[in-house]
Amino acid sequence: MAEVPTQYGIILAAILFSLGVAGILLRRNIFFVLLFVEVMLNAAGLAFVVAGARWGQADGQVMFIFVLATAAAEVAIGLGLLLRLHHQFKTLNVDEASDLRG
Amino acid sequence: MIVVFYIASGVAILSTFLVILQSNAVHALLYAILSLLSVAIVFFSLGAPLVAALEVIVYAGAIMVLFVFVVMVLNLGPGAEGQERVWLQPRTWTGPVILTLVLIGELIYIFLARPGLALRGPAIGPQEVSLALYGPYLLGVELASILLLAGLVGAYHLGREPSD
């Protein structure tokens, strides 16, 4: 069932993570920034699962479940901040919120 | 199964790339959901069926639906798409794209320089994962529950109407 080379799984995780980094760097909309944070967390979880499958242990999948819980908590806080930013500044540009007590 | 892995990885990379190119928020979300579903197929081909199911249920089902709700609440007009297109000028994205390509190239070089290691063993089912989760990782489960509670309280605090 599992004859996939380990490197290809790790390379897929690396490519997805780098696409997430590129997305965060070249977007200014906080909505897309949160979306790419999800992509990066998912890629990190993929690397855990590939490593766990390499050694035939369940630990990689356990770590993925923890990454999932972290992603769920992060997206709840992040979308709350997004709604507050939209309420206060009437825009989704993250650069608008660069001033303290602005 | 290896063909399934390659096709699903190709779909995942392509759809994640299309998320970056989209200026419409809903279209980007749909491509992100497609990317998460193909990563779930990758998990299944790696012999991790529980994680594949969790990826579909929690990531694509719960987290992305939260994003869809936020798009509906914000009610972004047609001006948002044009604003997004203005922000995506070539002078904005050339620098990050070049740096990210260097990063990807380095990572792929490092991983391919090693001798080939095949994944071994049969698929790891839900039973083994659950035994590990509630055995040696019990403290981690408690910490995750505290984190989720903190996220709940924080989201409630941020979502309230400001009183002042």
| Structure token pair of residue A6 | 């380990």
pLDDT at position A77, please? Answer: 93
| Structure token pair of residue B77 | 């007009």
The verdict on residue A22 lying in a domain is: no
| ipTM of this complex prediction, to 2 decimal places | 0.89
pLDDT at position A43, please? Answer: 95
Residue with tokens 């892995």: B5
pLDDT tens-place string over residues B152-164: 999 999 888 766 5
Handedness of CA B51, B61, B78, B74 (dihedral sign): negative
Of A26, A73, A86, the CB nearest to B92: A26
CA-to-CA dists, residue B139 to A75, A96, B80, B133, B135, angstroms: 23, 40, 45, 9, 9
The verdict on residue A97 lying in a domain is: no
The answer to whether residues B32 and A38 touch, using CB atoms and an 8 Å cutoff, is yes
CA-to-CA dists, residue B101 to A1, A4, B16, angstroms: 33, 25, 15
The verdict on residue A100 lying in a domain is: no
Q: Which residues of A touch B11 (CB under 8 A)?
A: none
pLDDT tens-place string over residues B17-57: 999 888 888 889 999 999 999 999 999 988 889 999 999 99
Give the gap in angstroms from C-alpha B69 to the nearest C-alpha of chain A.
Answer: 10
CATH of the domain at A68: 1.10.287.3510
Helices (H), chain A: 6-26, 30-55, 59-89
Which of B4, B23, B51, B69 to mutate: most A Cβ within 10 Å? B51
pLDDT tens-place string over residues B61-106: 899 989 988 888 887 767 777 777 777 777 777 888 888 899 889 8
Domains with residue ranges and CATH for chain B: 2-114 (1.20.120.1200)
Cα(B78)–Cα(A3) distance, integer angstroms:
48
The verdict on residue A68 lying in a domain is: yes
Share of chain A above pLDDT 70, in %: 94
Exposed e or buried b for every residue in B1-29, given b needs 16+ CB within 10 A?
eeeebeebbebbbebbbbbbebbebeebb
Residue B10: is its pLDDT beyond 90? yes
- Tell me if chain B has a CB within 8 Å of the CB of A96: no
Residue B132: is its pLDDT beyond 60? yes
The verdict on residue A55 lying in a domain is: yes
pTM for the whole thing?
Answer: 0.88
Please tell me which residue, B118 or A77, carries the higher pLDDT value.
A77
- Tell me if chain B has a CB within 8 Å of the CB of A29: yes
Please count the structural domains in chain A. 1
Check A61 against B129: CB less than 8 A apart.
yes
The verdict on residue A96 lying in a domain is: no
> Please, which residues bridge with residue A29 across strands?
A93
Domain that holds residue A39: 29-90
Please tell me which residue, A46 or A85, carries the higher pLDDT value.
A46
Of B74, B107, B117, the CB nearest to A54: B117
